[in-house]
Structure 1
Amino acid sequence: MRTLVRPAALRTRRGRLVYWSLFAVTLLLFTLAFVIPLYWMVTGGMKSSPELARNPPTYVPEEWHPDTYTDAWNRLDLARYFGNTLTLIGGAWLLGLAIQLPAAYALSRLRPRFGGLVLGLMLVTLMVPATVLLVPTYLTVTDVPLLGLNLVNNPAAVWLPAAANAFNIYVLKNFFDRIPGELLDAARIDGAGPLTVLRRIVLPLSRPIIAVVSILSVTALWRDFLWPLVVLPDPARQPITVYLQRISDSTSLNLLIAGLVLASIPLVLLFLVFQRHIIAGLTAGGIKG
């Protein structure tokens, strides 16, 4: 097996020293690149407003104000906008799984006529910048075809576009393709229909990739700013990302930073709790019998 470093070089004392030194330096640099912005954000919420505006900035707060986070939660009414965010994300996640899982299963195992064409057209949408689709999508939600509904200021305006995710369908289809066909054939011989096979065999085997798709969807929805801003003009219905930007001009800087820190905590906890599922889903290349 060919590697960047010859095995013979790693057997020498000098080779091991150089290798581990470069590895440690690289790991340290990458760690600092991720940790320093988080440090600035967290400590920025504990500084006073005059100290935050000081130039040059202070690296460590001269006076610690951890109560700023409590003030931000109460004064900015973050609980309400966290609730709005959870409503939008929860509905989009559930609707997305209800659409993406059957669609991927149909393209992978049922193989409908023109299925390859449908998949190709979905993949083409991944090549189109999101800003190009902004206006057509907005016109669609303001006048839903056949139904004639206007979904502005309605959570469905966020749920429906998020559910139609071609990337998630493609990822799920690739995973379903790796499920042994003999396993599904055995279920069909026992009398199981397509929906029974999907519910009792495919879905239990697909938990790692479903977890990955769910986490990627939740992360993208939590960070999304432009689309909720456009389709939810009513401030009372906006998610926390849009709300914090809206009040940025009328809120003290330390309170605003504290609010941003609190808004980012759920995503950090989500990754820490489900990182094993993310790795398992991304590295799942097959299923052992």
Structure 2
Amino acid sequence: MSDRAVRTLFSGNREGIGYKIAFTVTFVVFTAAFVLPFLWLVMGAMKPAVELAQVPPTILPRTWHPGNYTEAWHLMDLGKYFLNTVVVVAGAWAVQLLVDVPAAYALSKLRPVLGNGVLALMLVTLMLPPSTLLVPMYLTITDLPVLGVNLVNNPAAIWLPAAANAFNIYLLKRFFDQIPTELLDAARMDGAGAVTVLWRVVLPMARPILAVVSILSVVAAWKDFIWPLLVFSDPALQTLSVALQRFAPDTPINLLLAGLVLAALPMIAVFLAFQRHILAGLTAGSVKG
């Protein structure tokens, strides 16, 4: 029996009508699931508060009020909270790279004693619900071991717990495993130490995965809510997600929606700008010699 005879409606034929229908339906469903809620948010932010409360709701605003975005920006002083969030995100990103990259390099290429056991313990932490770690983490930052300092209302309370990210270490290690050992041995024969090899050989080759880890770190820190809520008791130091929640009870719903849109735009821009880097980094499975 020929290969053509055993083909199904969808398999192996991307020009067939069945494949096109399945692809189109899947694309439309998933696009609607992700895009329509955001479009409703954008449109709702440009409606008057009275129109938002109408039943049934309107799809498009009867009267457009794009000035709601400007009013929300000034009413909630979002500029200050954007700056707070940028400081927290930039520090969390930098600290994660400083910790995760050397840790993954050591586990992959330096082969420390009990390295596999350490990696296994790191991966076990991914199975724990994040809520179970809140209390021990909070007790730790209120009385930092050895130093004995209180990091409440300090951005370092966000940066330090984010530093040892098991998922990022795993991604980096898997990429470093693909780098031929011969390249590193050649650098060592030329007199390069472990740090020099990491800096001059490994990191230039690891740009795709470094981009992925950076984007994941930035997005996670930007959208985090529970931990910043516990850490920043001073309203003036709060991040954008926490500040919007605090303003919610006393802010008109249309202005609150406008604030949510403004808070989401930076991460949407990051994704649109770097989506190719994300796919390239996640699919990088080999390094050419």
Q: Which residue of 2 aligns with 1:279?
A: 279
For 1:23 and 1:178, locate their aligned partners in 2 and report how far apart those are by CA, in whole Å: 33
Aligned residues: 284
C-alpha displacement of 1:170: 1.1
In the alignment, what sits opposite 1:69?
69
Aligned residue identity for 2:246: R
Moved more, 256-265 or 102-111: 102-111
Stretch moving more, 28-37 or 38-47: 28-37
The amino acid that maps onto 1:44 is G
Match of 1:189 in 2: 189
* Partner deviation per Cα, 1:88-113 (whole Å, 9 max, x = no partner): 00001101100111111111111111
- Structure 2 match to 1:41: 41
Contact kept, 8 Å, 2:45 with 2:254, in 1: the verdict is yes
Structure 2 contact 104–169 (Cα < 8 Å) conserved: yes
Indicate conservation of the 8 Å contact 2:108/2:173, yes or no.
Answer: yes
Structure 1: 5+ residue stretches without partners: none
> What secondary structure sits across from 2:273 in the alignment?
helix
Measured in 2, the distance between the counterparts of 1:69 and 1:62 equals 17
CA-based RMSD: 1.8
Q: Give 3-state SS (helix, strand or coil) of 2:161's partner.
A: helix
Aligned-partner SS, 2:16: helix
With over 3 angstroms needed to count, the CA separation of the structure-2 counterparts of 1:67 and 1:234, relative to structure 1, is: same
Which range moves more in the overlay, 117-126 or 238-247? 117-126
Unmatched 5+ residue regions in structure 2? Answer: none
Three-state SS of the structure 2 residue aligned to 1:157 is helix
- Paired residue for 1:24? 24
Q: Any residues of structure 2 matched to 1:1-289 within 5 Å, and which?
A: 7=7, 16-289=16-289
Letter of the aligned partner of 1:202 in structure 2?
V
Within 1, Cα distance between the matches of 2:122 and 2:258?
40
The change in CA–CA distance for 1:10 and 1:134 in structure 2 (over 3 A counts) is closer
The aligned amino acid for 2:151 is L
d(CA) in 2 for partners of 1:8, 1:58: 44
Shift of 1:143: 0.5
Query: How far apart, in 2, do the equivalents of 1:8 and 1:88 lie?
Result: 53
> How far did residue 22 of structure 1 move?
2.4
Please report the TM-score for the alignment, with normalisation by the length of structure 2: 0.95
Kept in 1: contact 2:9–2:19 (CA 8 A): no
Residue-by-residue CA offset, 1:60-107 (whole Å, 9 max, x unaligned): 110000111111112211111000000000001101100111111111
1:17 to partner: Cα distance = 2.1
| CA 1:18–1:170: 2 relative to 1, 3 Å | closer
TM-score, reference length from structure 1:
0.95
State the shift of 1:232 in Å. Answer: 0.7
CA distance in 2, matches of 1:97, 1:144: 22
| CA distance in structure 1 between the partners assigned to 2:106 and 2:17 by the alignment | 54
What do the CA deviations read for 1:139-169 (whole angstroms, capped 9, x no partner)? 0000111110110000000000011211111
Q: Distance in 1 between matches of 2:260 and 2:120?
A: 39
Q: State the secondary structure of the residue aligned to 1:80.
A: helix
